[in-house]
Structure 1
Amino acid sequence: MSDRDGSDAPEGMVHRWFLSAVRGLIQVVLSQAVNIPLFVLAVVSFALIPIGVGVFLLPPTLLALRGLANQERRWSAEWSGVAIPVPYRPEPPASANPFRRLGWLLRDPATWRDVLWSLVNVPVGLLLGLLPAALVVYGIEGVLVAPLLAEIIGYGWGPFWPLDEWGLVGTVGSIVLGGALTAAGVPLGPRFLRAHALFNRSLLSPTRGALERRVQELTETRSETVDASAAELRRIERDLHDGAQARLVALSMNIGLAEELMKYDPEAAQKLLVEAREASGTALSELRGLVRGIHPPVLAERGLEGGVRALALSLPLPVDVVIDLPGRAEAPVESAAYFAVAEILANVAKHSGARRAWIDVHHANGALKMIVGDDGLGGADPEAGSGMRGIERRLAAFDGTMAVSSPRGGPTVVTMELPCALSSPRTLPSSGTD
């Protein structure tokens, strides 16, 4: 409920306090029942690394802590409007190896900030989580319970109160203090919740060094994207000039010549018109091909799932396809993902010598993840050719990443990620075939 919706009215303030009190109690439970066990388990797992147990126990512990930290980031944004960027480095493609996964986690500075946060949040989460509810509850207790206790103790209540008794002063003081705490606790409840969100941001957001590296990456990405866009526009212009435009010019000349010959040599004019019709069909096919290179119709009609399955069917070798997408991404993201998969599959067909390939596309943790692999010869190097570099530039424009694992002898596994949100599932046009 926003201020414009009347949150400054008494009903709105009470509603906001109630939400902050419930959410604060949730923070209390997490800080005591989850943070403490995870911190202890992380410390114990780290100590057990020399004997090998920690190699297998520490990664899932740190990933569970990372999941808890991500949940706190979401709550901070949703409950208090405090955005906390996710600072983690991308997972390497060979992270199934426990030693590689452990190294990836331990080399990430955000991991150590998560561990520190899990410890410091124990007292901070307890204090700031209890305050929204505790102030109001204690205040109400002072207003309602103190007179009852005075009656039980024997100080009396009403017009015959013995004014010279200290109990009167204490009771009145309790009522006044309780009323003040209640009046202050209702509007302060959301502020305590926001204070906890700000505390989370101080430990869970990227460091200054990480932000500087991020700015540098975005600067380089923007430059590469501008260059790639300019190159793409030049390619389209060249294809139009050398292909469809040349054919349309020739078509116009043939029609004009046929008009002149129609009076003197109808048979020759007829041949020119036949040639013009064939040239128009060829030009139309080239224009359709150019349009498919910009945004394939199957992608617009059937989404990324239909587009990827169509790509798999066009490959001259068996391809296992697993796609789990509960919705659709925005059109530019779908287009980038489609062409990235298309380029990888083209490399598989041309260079890998593979007998089989596989594609796995799914959405998890706010990112679209695409894995393309093959059982070919391996040895793929993104630095050796322009194809994979082009994919990196295409994905980088959307803050995406690509990791390649391709040892000599294979297999080759290319993992691509695009941060995005999915919309609700759309009803796709029915089709009899893929």
Structure 2
Amino acid sequence: MNASPRPGPSAPRDPRNPAGAATSVSDPLPPPRFAFDSVTWKEIAFLLLNLPVVILGFVYVVTVLAVGLGLSVTVVGLPLLAFGLVGCRLLGRMERARARALLGVHVDEPRPLRMGTLGFLPWLWATLRDPVAWRHALYFGCRLPWGIVTFTVTLTSLFVAWPVLPFLSRAMSTVDRAMARGLLQPSSELEQRIAELESDRGVVVDTAAADLRRIERDLHDGAQARLVALAMGLGLAKEKLLEDPEAAARMVGEAHGEVKIALQELRDLARGIHPAILTDRGLDAALSSVASRCTVPVAVGVDLVARPAEAIEGIAYFTVSELLQNVSKHSAARHAWVDLWRAGDRLMIQVRDDGKGGADVSGGSGLAGLAERLGSVDGLFVVSSPPGGPTEVTAELPWRDREFRRDAPIRR
């Protein structure tokens, strides 16, 4: 069968930012008239609800800041402040819904902050530095006087100055619209990009730490344990060399077998860090080697006229390697296909199989870890795997040219 067809134009570069730019769109409102139309009545309802809403928000924000900041020197202070800021985001969501329903103001929802797989401390730090939550706190903290004014003027005008109430409601609700757009909107593109890069840096750090722990565990439980047993065996053989040469020879033979096993484990460990074939011959040869170890036939197609940067090349290799391991373990497939090519400034990866499907990125699976790794370098990871198959995984990585290093060793 021929290699898998290449997909069309790539997906949007940043699926983790559904909110997009910090923009808000409001429906055009009709000019105020001496009439109580539906728009005017909605504005009046919004203005009358201002007082209970701003009292609730003001009390909450003041309490959260007072308790959280007051206890920030203790262990529980900063977590309380962080959860309080999460509550400010929830209040902001309700206020955006109220403004959307009664004022016709459509403000985009900000990108949520999730604890995810990064752990509590990275989430805590990101939440305490969240500009969206602090703007929401400012919104509810400064609106108490305005809420009192709008409630009083609107309620009084209903019985005293109702002929001009449409103009008054339009003027006061215009201020509310400006506040909602200014303080309840998502972060700007720059702020969102900074937050994403900080989150990505946390993913990279955690991934590197996990890899180091895995290497340490493999060395301790594998090669190191065998080398310790080898040293003990050689010591015993040395003691028996004169009194029982035959037993000593058997022990040396056993030690020789242990040396071979330890060397193989070290080679496997080195291959898991960065395989030599990838360094020497590139992705084509390295992925062909990985495909030969898969339990199903794999057709590999690599269409690259140049090699990408070492970091990008390594991520591409391990992405395909883990996907083919999933094919071997879970897919029940008969065939698989791997294709790599360059499309503009992106390195495209596609892995397909004709198995049973049902692969899911959610739920803390290995695919979720791959998606996080690719996201940490501004990549993209899309899985299409309906029940019954087939499964198609498409990944994108930013293309960076390989730099020539004068101090690079020459391999022979």
> What TM-score do the two structures reach when normalised by structure 1?
0.50
Give how far 1:373 is off: 1.2
Q: Which runs of 5+ in 1 are unaligned?
A: 1-59, 67-87, 93-105, 111-206, 430-434
1:236 is matched with which residue? 215
Alignment of 1:19-418 (within 5 A): 89-90=12-13, 209-418=188-397
CA spacing shift, 1:233–1:423, aligned 2, 3 Å: closer
CA spacing shift, 1:424–1:252, aligned 2, 3 Å: closer
Give how far 1:280 is off: 0.9
| Contact 2:384–2:392, Cα closer than 8 Å, also in 1 | yes
| Contact 1:221–1:397, Cα closer than 8 Å, also in 2 | yes
Give the Cα–Cα distance (whole angstroms) in 2 for the partners of residues 239 and 314 of structure 1: 21
Give the Cα–Cα distance (whole angstroms) in 2 for the partners of residues 388 and 344 of structure 1: 8
Give the Cα–Cα distance (whole angstroms) in 2 for the partners of residues 214 and 396 of structure 1: 13
CA spacing shift, 1:399–1:90, aligned 2, 3 Å: closer
Aligned residues: 237
Give the Cα–Cα distance (whole angstroms) in 2 for the partners of residues 396 and 91 of structure 1: 9
| SS of alignment partner, residue 244 of structure 1 | helix
Give how far 1:312 is off: 2.2
| SS of alignment partner, residue 351 of structure 2 | strand
State the identity %: 48
| SS of alignment partner, residue 13 of structure 2 | coil
CA spacing shift, 1:108–1:394, aligned 2, 3 Å: closer
Give the Cα–Cα distance (whole angstroms) in 2 for the partners of residues 337 and 108 of structure 1: 28
Give the Cα–Cα distance (whole angstroms) in 1 for the partners of residues 208 and 334 of structure 2: 35
| Contact 2:309–2:403, Cα closer than 8 Å, also in 1 | no
Amino acid at match of 1:287: L
| SS of alignment partner, residue 310 of structure 1 | helix
Give the Cα–Cα distance (whole angstroms) in 2 for the partners of residues 242 and 315 of structure 1: 26
Amino acid at match of 2:280: E
Give how far 1:397 is off: 3.2
CA spacing shift, 1:323–1:268, aligned 2, 3 Å: same
Query: Which of structures 1 and 2 has the larger relative contact order (alpha carbons within 8 angstroms, sep 6+)?
Result: 2
| SS of alignment partner, residue 282 of structure 2 | helix
Give the Cα–Cα distance (whole angstroms) in 1 for the partners of residues 192 and 358 of structure 2: 30
Q: Which runs of 5+ in 2 are unaligned?
A: 1-7, 23-185, 405-409
Give the Cα–Cα distance (whole angstroms) in 1 for the partners of residues 259 and 300 of structure 2: 38
Give how far 1:329 is off: 1.0
| Contact 2:274–2:314, Cα closer than 8 Å, also in 1 | yes
CA spacing shift, 1:289–1:239, aligned 2, 3 Å: same
Give how far 1:91 is off: 8.4
Give the Cα–Cα distance (whole angstroms) in 2 for the partners of residues 326 and 208 of structure 1: 40
Amino acid at match of 1:297: A
| Contact 2:331–2:357, Cα closer than 8 Å, also in 1 | yes
Give the Cα–Cα distance (whole angstroms) in 2 for the partners of residues 322 and 268 of structure 1: 54
* Cα deviations by residue, 1:27-52 (Å, 9 ceiling, x for unpaired): xxxxxxxxxxxxxxxxxxxxxxxxxx
Give the Cα–Cα distance (whole angstroms) in 1 for the partners of residues 260 and 390 of structure 2: 43
More helix by share: 1
Give the Cα–Cα distance (whole angstroms) in 2 for the partners of residues 424 and 321 of structure 1: 26
* Cα deviations by residue, 1:49-89 (Å, 9 ceiling, x for unpaired): xxxxxxxxxxx9xx8xx9xxxxxxxxxxxxxxxxxxxxx93
Give the Cα–Cα distance (whole angstroms) in 1 for the partners of residues 197 and 20 of structure 2: 20
| SS of alignment partner, residue 317 of structure 1 | coil
Give the Cα–Cα distance (whole angstroms) in 2 for the partners of residues 91 and 247 of structure 1: 47
Give the Cα–Cα distance (whole angstroms) in 1 for the partners of residues 213 and 206 of structure 2: 11
Amino acid at match of 2:353: D
| Contact 1:404–1:412, Cα closer than 8 Å, also in 2 | yes
Give the Cα–Cα distance (whole angstroms) in 2 for the partners of residues 377 and 286 of structure 1: 33
* Cα deviations by residue, 1:206-237 (Å, 9 ceiling, x for unpaired): x9623222222222211121111111111111
Give the Cα–Cα distance (whole angstroms) in 2 for the partners of residues 107 and 236 of structure 1: 39
| Contact 2:277–2:285, Cα closer than 8 Å, also in 1 | yes
> What TM-score do the two structures reach when normalised by structure 2?
0.52
| Contact 2:200–2:377, Cα closer than 8 Å, also in 1 | no
Give the Cα–Cα distance (whole angstroms) in 2 for the partners of residues 419 and 368 of structure 1: 6
- Which has the higher Rg, Structure 1 or Structure 2? 1
| Contact 1:228–1:393, Cα closer than 8 Å, also in 2 | no
Amino acid at match of 2:370: I
Q: CA RMSD in A?
A: 3.2
Give how far 1:423 is off: 4.5
